[in-house]
């Protein structure tokens, strides 16, 4: 299998206006920087973005908010972004907030071919409004549907031409589940190695889930909250 | 009266050997500083890490290694990384022994509100709804009263809920209280605080039985 | 008439470049031998492997490396291992493009029976029920008639079902047939086999339109 | 955390008659050989064993069948064992057959705190009898309950005192899901290394799921179908 494409522009070239995208990452950690840049350059509009967060004003998904490319965000937390707040309050942007574990599990459900899952998160809160509540063993659970996306865009540390992916540290986060949930899954990696170089026991996302892969460039990997102790 | 450090110190005494613990943002994060060295406790960060270590030394930050508050952190021997689905999987299946988080309001039946204030920009619940819905033991770290001087320990939460009937214990600048079927049960007073002061600061049902000891913080 | 090798060879022609394929035990396993070298196909083994390679050379067997038929196998560059839940996850989510398996009976609406014979010891369905319920393209490799000479392509399965309305294509020693809404549609005859012979060996609805070509193998 | 115990006898000492056990492995690949030997030695009876297979006559779970320790097997395939067949036909042994993917996913559901899952496996077959069928997006699914066990007994390649586990090749199979589904999870490993020796990015089962771990001895790792090609 050779799923390698040249670069981000090539990888995202068939993403059209009004597409639904999943973007991996937690905060700015493990986000697909190259594809975001390419999406901004391409100028595709009306996007629905499923991503745990919405970036900051001048980085990550924030860059796509500045250019008004995003119609709707589906996230668990969107608090680090003034432009986001402005667009939300002005009604330019829709937002749907989902508990973080529910978000992760709904993506995973898609990759595992399970149409719905049950979670206790949100029972008795406004998150439960309109949802089916079901009791198992004396505890209430919400039924939440699997969701997929036209494109899932993920960032990994290492990858090979088959699309096998290995993530690094907490940059793994949502990337593996979203990789499983894309109708088309695009992976950008820091290191693209020949097939056979990755230990088959250590692969986090088997290539079967990945449709296109490329070696990203110029990773900034910005730190949101640089916190250190005194030496 | 306790300061934030004092609240964190008092909560640290609730952490038992062998516990897996999830610490929320704010005061709960400070609790880690007061768990005795060598005490067998593993911190879970819901963005995908077991075995969270201290902040890195200056210059050793790693952009790929953050906690759920997006702060740079370190690992410890025995750490493991995993994805967000497994992370919340271990939370939902009650493998995490103790969750410590902040709150805006707690009701005397254990409901908690900590994610949304009507009329203000809503930033989202993050992982809080998952955590409070699943943890077997939830301790809330918060101020007893809000900036307007109003009690945050209520008969019923006025803010939108994060979870229902889930809080087990509350540690404030004034007191330690268990949440029981009969309401908030006062366990300890903060140094220099009287039962009367706690009564006045608590709107929900408050149970006071016998002498209420002053807490020890070493 | 085809032998087992012939059936495997003919099925191999259904395997397209870029396919992820799951091969069942028996004739389906042989299909791997007739997929052209260098053809971009990845074999999935539902016990937890993508990229199944050939059997090992004598002395190079590894007890930790088996296929779903419990045979010793090898990996290929680009292989990956995963657990059984993820394995069936990728099957259920239709990431596997083609599933090839054997059957005892197939009905003309695509039902399949291949796991249980009443009165005989039932060994279990293994992964077959998961595979037939989820694969987007299922090809059955089997004999057209059983040892008693009775058709295995039926109006309705007599044996307990493995899956319902799922089989897309059947390759037997006599013929290649598609399963359509109107029944079995005859596509090709095995070398030396007449349409009449196929008719006589098929109990389910059989559609014969125009000239039926003899199949080509390699 | 130090979850290390001396050996299999120590690890299983509190398993009592009539317990429900999960045992990892696929065929004879990745089975907890040491714990099975210890269970036979202890002679605990009336066990319900959840395991994909039932071993062969003289190895794996087959050893516990010889000694009549198993009351019920819950498996997907039990075909390699004459003693099994004899006990089943004589009514000494109960068996419940579950599709392999359903078995794996029901274990995983337990570890992920999901009380039930939906799968299409078995729809329209006798497996569906008595089960709730639900249609999502035009396709029927069965609702299947999560299951856990009093003890899950798994075999890994490497482990550390925290209970972190790494499996090798297809010996992974059911072990990770069962490790998540045990009320008490016991892991036996070929190599027990100090905490910190395992790469945190490569751990398959985080230690939080594991309660006891020990270094196994004398692994036979029997091959069921030795199949080779000519060189």
D125 assigned to some structural domain: no
Instruction: Give the DSSP H or E segment for A101.
Output: helix A100-111
Q: How far is CA A117 from CA A122, A132, C181, D131, D182, in A?
A: 13, 11, 33, 17, 21
CB A93 within 8 A of CB A71: yes
Instruction: Compare all CA atoms of chain C with the CA of A198 and give the residue at the minimum distance.
Output: C78
Q: Once rounded to an integer, what is the mean pLDDT over residues B188-207?
A: 97
- CB neighbours of A175 closer than 8 A, spacing ≥ 6? A24, A25, A30, A154, A155, A156, A165, A167, A205, B83
CB C145 within 8 A of CB C202: no
Q: Distance between CA atoms of C120 and C123, rounded to whole angstroms?
A: 9
Cβ neighbour number for residue C153 with a 10 Å cutoff: 28
- Residue D116 — pLDDT band, cuts 50, 70, 90? very high
Which of chain A's residues have a Cβ under 8 Å away from the Cβ of D167?
201
CB D189 within 8 A of CB D33: no
CB B56 within 8 A of CB B36: no
> Among candidates D153, A90, D51, A98, which has minimal Cα distance to B126?
A98
Yes or no, beta carbons of A117 and D117 under 8 Å apart: yes
- Residue D81 — pLDDT band, cuts 50, 70, 90? confident
B38 has a pLDDT exceeding 90: no
B218 has a pLDDT exceeding 90: no
The domain total for chain D is: 1
> Among candidates B31, B151, B154, B200, which has minimal Cα distance to B99?
B31
Which of chain A's residues have a Cβ under 8 Å away from the Cβ of C51?
162, 200
Range with the lowest mean pLDDT among B48-52, C182-186, D75-79? D75-79
Cβ neighbour number for residue C34 with a 10 Å cutoff: 17
Q: Distance between CA atoms of D189 and D168, rounded to whole angstroms?
A: 11
State residue D80's pLDDT score. 77
A102 assigned to some structural domain: yes
Instruction: Compare all CA atoms of chain C with the CA of A163 and give the residue at the minimum distance.
Output: C78
> Among candidates A165, A151, A149, A169, which has minimal Cα distance to A216?
A165
B192 has a pLDDT exceeding 80: yes
State residue A27's pLDDT score. 96
Pairing of strands B75-81, B49-52: antiparallel
- Residue D39 — pLDDT band, cuts 50, 70, 90? very high
Q: Once rounded to an integer, what is the mean pLDDT over residues B89-112?
A: 97
Domain of residue A55, residue span: 8-114+148-215
Interface of B with A in 92-131 (CB under 8 A): 92, 111, 121-130
Q: Distance between CA atoms of A84 and A88, rounded to whole angstroms?
A: 6
- If you write DSSP's letter for every residue of B74-120 in order, what string do you get? -EEEEEEE--HHHHHHHHHTT-S-EEEEE-SEEETTS-EE-S--TTS
Interface of D with B in 181-200 (CB under 8 A): 194-196, 198, 200
> Among candidates D58, D51, D59, which has minimal Cα distance to D77?
D51
> Among candidates D123, D134, D79, which has minimal Cα distance to C112?
D123
Show the low-confidence residues of chain A (pLDDT under 70).
Answer: none
Which of chain B's residues have a Cβ under 8 Å away from the Cβ of A230?
57-58
State residue B216's pLDDT score. 87
Instruction: Compare all CA atoms of chain A with the CA of C41 and give the residue at the minimum distance.
Output: A1
- Residue B120 — pLDDT band, cuts 50, 70, 90? confident
Q: Look up the CATH number of the domain holding residue D195.
A: 3.40.1080.10
Q: What is the pLDDT of residues C42-54, one digit of tens each?
A: 999 999 999 999 9
Q: Distance between CA atoms of D13 and A171, rounded to whole angstroms?
A: 41
Q: Distance between CA atoms of C112 and C79, rounded to whole angstroms?
A: 31
- Residue D47 — pLDDT band, cuts 50, 70, 90? very high
Q: What is the pLDDT of residues C164-204, one digit of tens each?
A: 999 999 999 999 999 999 999 999 999 999 999 999 999 99
Which of chain D's residues have a Cβ under 8 Å away from the Cβ of C163?
123-125
Closest approach of A115 to chain C, Cα-based (Å)? 10
Interface of D with C in 40-59 (CB under 8 A): 52
- If you write DSSP's letter for every residue of A15-68 in order, what string do you get? --TT-EEEE--BTTBT--HHHHHHHHHHT--SEEEE-S---BTTBTTHHHHHTT
State residue C84's pLDDT score. 98
State residue C216's pLDDT score. 87
Yes or no, beta carbons of D77 and C126 under 8 Å apart: yes
Bridge partners of residue B188, in order along the sequence: B176
State residue D82's pLDDT score. 86
Closest approach of C94 to chain A, Cα-based (Å)? 8
> Among candidates D88, D32, D79, which has minimal Cα distance to D210?
D32
State residue B154's pLDDT score. 98
Q: Dihedrals φ, ψ of C89, to 5°?
A: -60, -45
D29 near C CB under 8 A:
yes
CB D171 within 8 A of CB D157: yes
Of A111, A160, A207, which is closest to C50 when you measure between CB atoms? A207
Yes or no, beta carbons of A206 and C86 under 8 Å apart: yes
Query: Subunits that touch chain A (at least 3 Cβ pairs < 8 angstroms)?
Result: B, C, D
Whether residue C46 lies in the annotated active site: yes
Closest approach of A17 to chain C, Cα-based (Å)? 26
Q: What is the pLDDT of residues D139-185, one digit of tens each?
A: 999 999 999 899 999 999 999 999 999 999 999 999 999 999 999 99
ipTM greater than 0.85, yes or no?
yes
Q: Distance between CA atoms of D161 and D2, rounded to whole angstroms?
A: 5
Q: Once rounded to an integer, what is the mean pLDDT over residues B106-114?
A: 97
CB D89 within 8 A of CB C121: yes
Yes or no, beta carbons of D162 and B42 under 8 Å apart: yes
- CB neighbours of D103 closer than 8 A, spacing ≥ 6? C84, D50, D52, D74, D75, D76, D174
Yes or no, beta carbons of B96 and D113 under 8 Å apart: no
- Which of A112, A200, A210, A211 is the best mutation test for C, with the most CBs of C within 10 A? A200
A36 assigned to some structural domain: yes
D56 assigned to some structural domain: yes
Say whether the B–C interface has 3 or more Cβ pairs within 8 Å.
no
A98 assigned to some structural domain: yes
Q: Distance between CA atoms of A119 and A136, rounded to whole angstroms?
A: 11
> Which pTM value belongs to this model?
0.97
Interface of B with A in 148-207 (CB under 8 A): 160-165
Closest approach of D227 to chain B, Cα-based (Å)? 36
D102 near A CB under 8 A:
no
Closest approach of B170 to chain A, Cα-based (Å)? 21
CB D135 within 8 A of CB A167: no
- Residue D95 — pLDDT band, cuts 50, 70, 90? very high
Q: Distance between CA atoms of D70 and D84, rounded to whole angstroms?
A: 10
CB D34 within 8 A of CB D188: yes
Q: Once rounded to an integer, what is the mean pLDDT over residues D184-203?
A: 98
CB C179 within 8 A of CB C204: no
Q: Distance between CA atoms of D46 and D30, rounded to whole angstroms?
A: 24
Q: Once rounded to an integer, what is the mean pLDDT over residues D28-54?
A: 98
Instruction: Give the DSSP H or E segment for A156.
Output: strand A149-159
Q: What is the pLDDT of residues C91-104, one digit of tens each?
A: 999 999 999 999 99
Q: What is the pLDDT of residues C117-166, one digit of tens each?
A: 998 888 999 999 999 999 889 999 999 999 999 999 999 999 999 999 99
State residue B167's pLDDT score. 97
Average per-residue pLDDT for chain D: 97
- Residue B173 — pLDDT band, cuts 50, 70, 90? very high
- Degrees to nearest 5, angle at CA C168 with A151 and C102: 110
State residue D231's pLDDT score. 76
Query: Locate tokens 């007739």: which residue?
Result: C34
Which of chain B's residues have a Cβ under 8 Å away from the Cβ of A104?
83-85, 87-88
> Among candidates A180, B48, A132, A162, which has minimal Cα distance to C78?
A162
D153 assigned to some structural domain: yes
Q: Once rounded to an integer, what is the mean pLDDT over residues C29-35?
A: 91
């Amino acid at each position: 299998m050779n799923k390698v494409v040249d670069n981000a522009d090539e990888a995202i070239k068939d993403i059209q206006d009004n597409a639904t995208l999943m973007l991996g990452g937690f905060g700015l950690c493990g986000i697909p920087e190259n594809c975001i840049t390419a999406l901004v350059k391409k100028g595709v509009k009306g996007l629905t973005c499923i991503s745990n967060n919405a970036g900051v004003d001048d980085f990550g998904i924030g860059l796509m908010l500045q250019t008004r490319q995003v119609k709707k965000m589906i996230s668990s937390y969107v608090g680090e972004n003034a432009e986001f707040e402005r667009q939300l309050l002005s009604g330019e942007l829709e937002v749907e907030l989902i508990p973080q574990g529910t978000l992760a599990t709904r993506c995973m459900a898609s990759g595992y071919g399970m149409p719905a899952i049950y979670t206790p998160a949100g029972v008795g809160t406004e998150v439960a409004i309109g949802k089916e509540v079901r009791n198992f063993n004396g505890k209430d659970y919400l039924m939440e549907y699997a969701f997929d996306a036209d494109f899932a865009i993920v960032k990994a540390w290492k990858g090979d031409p088959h699309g096998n992916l290995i993530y690094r540290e907490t940059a793994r986060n949502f990337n593996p589940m979203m990789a499983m949930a894309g109708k088309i899954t695009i992976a950008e990696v820091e290191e693209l190695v020949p097939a056979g170089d990755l230990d088959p026991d250590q692969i986090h996302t088997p290539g079967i889930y990945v449709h296109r892969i490329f070696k990203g460039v110029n990773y900034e990997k910005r730190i949101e909250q640089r916190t250190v102790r005194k030496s | 009266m306790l300061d934030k450090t004092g609240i964190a110190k008092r909560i640290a005494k609730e952490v038992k050997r062998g516990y897996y613990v999830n610490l929320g943002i704010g005061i709960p994060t400070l609790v880690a500083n007061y768990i005795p060295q060598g005490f067998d406790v593993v911190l879970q960060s819901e963005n995908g890490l077991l075995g969270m270590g201290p902040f890195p030394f200056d210059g050793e930050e790693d952009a790929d290694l953050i906690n759920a508050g997006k702060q740079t952190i370190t690992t410890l021997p025995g750490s493991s990384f995993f994805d967000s689905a497994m992370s919340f999987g271990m939370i939902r299946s009650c493998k995490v022994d103790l969750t410590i988080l902040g709150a805006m309001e707690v009701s005397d039946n254990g409901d908690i509100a900590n994610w949304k204030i009507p009329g203000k920009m809503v930033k989202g619940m993050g992982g809080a709804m998952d955590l409070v819905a699943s943890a077997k033991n939830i301790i809330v770290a918060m101020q007893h009263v809000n900036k307007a001087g109003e009690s945050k320990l209520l008969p019923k939460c006025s803010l939108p809920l994060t979870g229902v009937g889930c809080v087990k214990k509350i540690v404030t600048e004034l007191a330690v209280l268990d949440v029981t079927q009969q309401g908030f049960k006062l366990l300890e007073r903060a140094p220099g605080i009287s039962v009367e002061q706690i009564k006045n600061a608590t709107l929900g049902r408050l149970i006071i039985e016998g002498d209420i000891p002053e807490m020890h913080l070493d």
